[in-house]
Structure 1
Amino acid sequence: MKTLETVCFSIIFAAPALAQEPLAAIDWLKDPAPISVARPLEEALKLPEADDVEGAVVPDVDVMPLDGAQPDAAGLLPGSTTGLPPNLWAGSGTDTLVSLFSRLPPDPLPAIQALYYTLLLAEAEAPADAGREARFLRARLEALRKMGAVDPALALVQQAGPYDASLFDQWFDLALLSGTEDEACAALSQDPELSEAYDKRIYCGARAGDWQTAALTYETATALGVLDAASARLLAQFLDPETIDAEMSLAPSAEMTPLLYRLYEAAGTPLPTRNLPREFAVADLRGLTGLKAEIEAAERLTRTGALPANRLLGLYTDQSPAASGGVWERVAGVQALEQAIVDTDPDAVARHLPGLWRDMKREGLAVAFATLFAQPLSTLELEGRAREAAFEVALLSQDYETLAPDLAGSDARARFLVGVAQGTPDAALASETPQVAIAEAFAATAAHPDHADMLEAGRLGQAILTAALQLDTAGPNQASDIVAGLSTLRSVGLEDTARRAALQILLLKADT
């Protein structure tokens, strides 16, 4: 039997940080694609001194042996990059933080998504009540997986030390998703106690050529009834390909796992990923499923910042559209717009930009589009609807503060948006609920009362995460949540994140 081919692919994502300068590369990323960081701060964030904290609730502390590093403290972004203090999480309880991370929405505002990445990957001390079971780390890994950020999650668990029963199953799943399961399988073969999952032991034994042990383990598992029907049948086919019946299709399992996905693939019945959790989309980036499926997977990952905009652009421009409608409409539009920009043809840009911009906003790809096209569009003399679209594109780009003013119209809405981009929205120009809320938040000079107690008690990470969630899940007319979230983010120095989030609320939420 042939072993499954090892397929490597890289997921790069955008994460904000509080650094003085943008990163050019991160050691754990082999590809030197940039990771976005927040605008410079005058100084890194600091928690109150112990003597200044009144009424703080100190969680129970588990005493750890000196030679036992806590996996919950693992992180990929050091404090020198994020500007966050080492005791970011120390004042909070694990249960509270795990609950907050479990509530991260599937399609967040891009600015807040980037902040989530910073918090999930920040190098910081573990919560005071953290134990060896790595609950805090596992919650972060689960959140990254839901976003489709498989490679960063894999790097994080490897840094923490995956040769431990509390982390091995996460490591194994992530390795399967990224096609790098050789090391995990070798570890499990040497120490079967790393996982209680019989299916993983069987799979790894067969991949290693230890058919006798794999078959014996399979017989034991079926006798104990610990394998579900799909796993039992797929593993039987994996152990003996001659049992594969081409006439009989195998329905997808209702509860898909990375191992089941790979077993379906090994049986010659690879599954489409569009209806599977986002983490499975990385499998369609291998060029094995056709360009349409690859583009759709890339769009899913780009929406959560798990894939850089340039990677998506490469797929859009790889070949001429194979059909019309749907994804091919975007492919044709991007190719036509790119050619119009290369030709410095404002009339052609005007024909293609408004409709394409509307489609990109609808598909949740507006910020990625702005990353690619804001700067070149700003150099063209555009009028009418094309200029209005270019103005919005500029506002959603990383250079919003410098590009947008030159494209702005004279109406109240445009002037208000420019004010947000510059951090000084004019309340007199605010006519709608989200505008009024944003103006109020930018006039505030302190954290919102919803989060002030957390900051005073030294729970900085919890305060930032709570404020981000409150803002992220607020509807465009939920003024109090918008005010609370933006006020607190600005008060702790996340000015760039607050401005970008405010602009995204106005352009991506309020306009829909």
Structure 2
Amino acid sequence: MPTRAAALALILCSTALPLRAEAPLSAIDWLSQSVTAKPHVVAPNATVIPPAAPNEPAVAKKGALPEDVAVSVIGGPSPDAVGLLSPAATGFPHDLWGLARTAEVTAAIRDTRIEGLPALQGLLVTILIAEASPPADAGGRGELLIARIDKLLELGALDQAAALLAEAGHVKNPEVFRRAFDVALLTGTEDQACTDLARAPELALTLTTRVFCLARSGDWSAAALTLRTAQALGHVSGVEDELLSRFLDPDLFEGEPVPDPPKPVTPLVWRIYDAIGEPLSTSTLPLAFAHAELGPRAGWKAQLEAAERLARAGMIPANQLLGLYTQKKPAASGGVWDRAEAFQNFDTALTAGDLGTIEQRLPLAYARMADVEAEVPFADLYALPLSKLKLTGDAARIAYEMGLLSPDYRSLATSALSPGDARSLFLAGVAAGSVKGLNAPDSMARALAPAFTNPVLPAGAEDLLAQKRLGEAMLMAISLIDTGLKGDTTQVAKGLALLRKLGLEDAARRTALEVLLLERRG
């Protein structure tokens, strides 16, 4: 590895570097500026549709086509149509967006928020990865694809984002590649991403990316030369210089304090801090960063805390959480260690089939999972085996509710574990799709009951359905339920009613059960 003095000496034979990239065009402010943005060029086979004459009537109410022009590609694949699940797999129509405009769809995706309800979070991810025809004005620009990927990154759905990026062929498009590069950084596959960059000269690398990838490939001399040349030309900030200098030769800075991380922390900045032996905690960073601490380079505590964050959002399989919780014996007490111990003690009792010990340990284990809002993955793992046991008391009640939170909720709603009171009867009614004649046990049950007795669609839903804008209607339903949980509970019923109107009966029932059992209120 060259010293700083040797690298500076090489400046004499260096050439100028490109200027740093302009600000990224992403709504996500933590994306790395790995490549410079290039102006979009309309494809040669694109057909430009002229705007309607001033007095010509609109094609559809609320404007299904853009006000000025619409661009469509004849006979060529659109990046916006790329998906991981076919209509046969999702049950969604291929014409998911109907007569919507691209700007309307991307705005709806960007504005949709939902936390704490795994059923709706799973539905949102399915919408984002569904294969579907793009809006008529998409024009092959990839705007809808970028919006879908950005939302997946925001949700922490890195596996799905990576697969969608791969399907899209990320090397061909700078904006798509930027996202693929960051996913690679957070999943530990940055070497392959740097190799892709080396094979794509049409992508203009930014300074930090250039130095990082040169060093990762083992060309430390070229990396040092690149950095010092850029410093001499004023193309690198002080923070960038200090971080990259430490990355290239950390021995020169031994004993010196590490610079405070810039804001926002990008995946590339996070990876550089990790490489110099000063990893940043991901606990206060966006959820996508939690994936970076699932690998063996992180300690067990960091892995557990990252897995809990991701499990809460439904972004890792329940079995992965099980594997981490049972990996080794807790080394201390408090916090995550108490959760791991309670989890392990219960798992051991269930494996042994010791009914008395199961009844003793289940309440504590479930309470510890509730502390981190991981009840649903816990139910996914254990609800079915618990339903086969002759549990009593508090353990029986918990096992029954876990059954309602599991994929087997329909069959387990009438299990022998049901206490048979008004609350359990209402929950069983929701699981069956009808609560007529049943007493609502609390205010939230009363608020959502109309969705299963006398459903009323929200304002604007009929227009979306008439224009076959079913994807937007799904997003509207998700947003209404999220809004309802934060205050106006009547919106929950309207959102559930819209899901049922769209034929998403399973999503509606599981969401209603989660609202009633998980107490997620804003």
User: 1:305 Cα shift?
Assistant: 1.6
The aligned amino acid for 1:371 is D
The aligned amino acid for 1:55 is K
> Counterpart in 2 of 1:97?
105
Tell me, in whole angstroms, the C-alpha distance in 1 between the residues paired with 2:224 and 2:75. Answer: 39
The aligned amino acid for 2:130 is A
Question: 156, 169, 179: which is aligned to 2:164?
Answer: 156
> Counterpart in 2 of 1:202?
211
The reply on whether 1:175 has 2:184 as its aligned counterpart is yes
Alignment of 1:357-506 (within 5 A): 357-406=366-415, 407-426=417-436, 428-444=438-454, 447-475=457-485, 478-506=488-516
Equivalent pair of 2:325/2:343 in contact (CA under 8 Å) = yes
Tell me, in whole angstroms, the C-alpha distance in 1 between the residues paired with 2:412 and 2:452. Answer: 21
Q: Deviations over 1:45-92 (max 9, x none)?
A: xxxxxxxx9636222364344465322211111111001111112422
Equivalent pair of 2:114/2:479 in contact (CA under 8 Å) = no
Tell me, in whole angstroms, the C-alpha distance in 2 between the residues paired with 1:352 and 1:419. Answer: 29
The aligned amino acid for 2:168 is A
Equivalent pair of 1:133/1:166 in contact (CA under 8 Å) = no
Q: Deviations over 1:482-503 (max 9, x none)?
A: 1110001011111110001001
Equivalent pair of 2:499/2:505 in contact (CA under 8 Å) = yes
> Counterpart in 2 of 1:45?
none
Question: 344, 351, 365: which is aligned to 1:342?
Answer: 351
Equivalent pair of 2:73/2:140 in contact (CA under 8 Å) = no
Deviates more, 1:414-423 or 1:267-276: 267-276
> Counterpart in 1 of 2:175?
166
User: 1:213 Cα shift?
Assistant: 4.9
> Counterpart in 1 of 2:309?
300
Tell me, in whole angstroms, the C-alpha distance in 1 between the residues paired with 2:238 and 2:140. Answer: 34
Deviates more, 1:190-199 or 1:94-103: 190-199
Question: 57, 67, 74: which is aligned to 2:63?
Answer: 57
* Number of aligned residue pairs: 462
User: 1:505 Cα shift?
Assistant: 0.6
User: 1:231 Cα shift?
Assistant: 2.5
> Counterpart in 2 of 1:118?
126
> Counterpart in 2 of 1:279?
288
Question: 259, 267, 272: which is aligned to 2:268?
Answer: 259
User: Aligned pair in 2 of structure 1 residues 352, 63: CA closer, same or farther (>3 Å)?
Assistant: same
Tell me, in whole angstroms, the C-alpha distance in 1 between the residues paired with 2:429 and 2:455. Answer: 17
Tell me, in whole angstroms, the C-alpha distance in 1 between the residues paired with 2:98 and 2:234. Answer: 43
Deviates more, 1:278-287 or 1:188-197: 188-197
Equivalent pair of 2:477/2:499 in contact (CA under 8 Å) = yes
Tell me, in whole angstroms, the C-alpha distance in 2 between the residues paired with 1:368 and 1:451. Answer: 32
User: Aligned pair in 2 of structure 1 residues 126, 217: CA closer, same or farther (>3 Å)?
Assistant: farther
Deviates more, 1:353-362 or 1:59-68: 59-68
Question: 359, 363, 366: which is aligned to 1:354?
Answer: 363
The reply on whether 1:127 has 2:127 as its aligned counterpart is no
Tell me, in whole angstroms, the C-alpha distance in 2 between the residues paired with 1:322 and 1:331. Answer: 10
The aligned amino acid for 2:512 is A
User: Aligned pair in 2 of structure 1 residues 320, 183: CA closer, same or farther (>3 Å)?
Assistant: closer
Equivalent pair of 1:175/1:184 in contact (CA under 8 Å) = yes
User: Aligned pair in 2 of structure 1 residues 90, 214: CA closer, same or farther (>3 Å)?
Assistant: farther
User: 1:132 Cα shift?
Assistant: 4.4
User: 1:174 Cα shift?
Assistant: 1.1
User: Aligned pair in 2 of structure 1 residues 457, 67: CA closer, same or farther (>3 Å)?
Assistant: closer
The aligned amino acid for 1:508 is L
User: Aligned pair in 2 of structure 1 residues 268, 122: CA closer, same or farther (>3 Å)?
Assistant: same
The aligned amino acid for 2:212 is Y
Equivalent pair of 1:395/1:503 in contact (CA under 8 Å) = yes
- Scaled by the length of structure 1, the TM-score of the pair is 0.84
User: Aligned pair in 2 of structure 1 residues 511, 239: CA closer, same or farther (>3 Å)?
Assistant: closer
Equivalent pair of 2:448/2:490 in contact (CA under 8 Å) = no
Tell me, in whole angstroms, the C-alpha distance in 2 between the residues paired with 1:56 and 1:343. Answer: 62
Structure 2 counterpart SS, 1:63: strand
Alignment of 1:306-317 (within 5 A): 306-317=315-326
Q: Deviations over 1:326-354 (max 9, x none)?
A: 11111111112122222322221221112
Tell me, in whole angstroms, the C-alpha distance in 1 between the residues paired with 2:269 and 2:141. Answer: 26
Equivalent pair of 1:475/1:509 in contact (CA under 8 Å) = no
User: Aligned pair in 2 of structure 1 residues 62, 228: CA closer, same or farther (>3 Å)?
Assistant: farther
Q: Deviations over 1:417-470 (max 9, x none)?
A: 111111111354014332123221012467444412111112110011111121
> Counterpart in 2 of 1:42?
none
Root mean square deviation of aligned Cα? 2.5
The reply on whether 1:77 has 2:85 as its aligned counterpart is yes
> Counterpart in 2 of 1:37?
none
Q: Taking every aligned residue pair, what percent have the same amino acid on both sides?
A: 43
User: 1:230 Cα shift?
Assistant: 3.1
Structure 1 counterpart SS, 2:484: coil
Equivalent pair of 2:282/2:290 in contact (CA under 8 Å) = yes
User: Aligned pair in 2 of structure 1 residues 203, 495: CA closer, same or farther (>3 Å)?
Assistant: same
Tell me, in whole angstroms, the C-alpha distance in 2 between the residues paired with 1:121 and 1:332. Answer: 37
> Counterpart in 1 of 2:45?
none
Tell me, in whole angstroms, the C-alpha distance in 2 between the residues paired with 1:228 and 1:430. Answer: 62
> Counterpart in 1 of 2:10?
none
Q: Deviations over 1:212-242 (max 9, x none)?
A: 6544543454356554443221212333444
Equivalent pair of 1:106/1:146 in contact (CA under 8 Å) = no
Equivalent pair of 1:106/1:147 in contact (CA under 8 Å) = no
Q: Deviations over 1:112-160 (max 9, x none)?
A: 0110110010011122222444222122112211222212211111211
Equivalent pair of 1:476/1:509 in contact (CA under 8 Å) = no
Deviates more, 1:354-363 or 1:82-91: 354-363
Tell me, in whole angstroms, the C-alpha distance in 1 between the residues paired with 2:326 and 2:220. Answer: 46
Tell me, in whole angstroms, the C-alpha distance in 2 between the residues paired with 1:411 and 1:476. Answer: 28
Tell me, in whole angstroms, the C-alpha distance in 1 between the residues paired with 2:292 and 2:98. Answer: 37
User: Aligned pair in 2 of structure 1 residues 55, 97: CA closer, same or farther (>3 Å)?
Assistant: closer
Ranges in structure 1 where 5+ consecutive residues have no aligned partner: 3-52
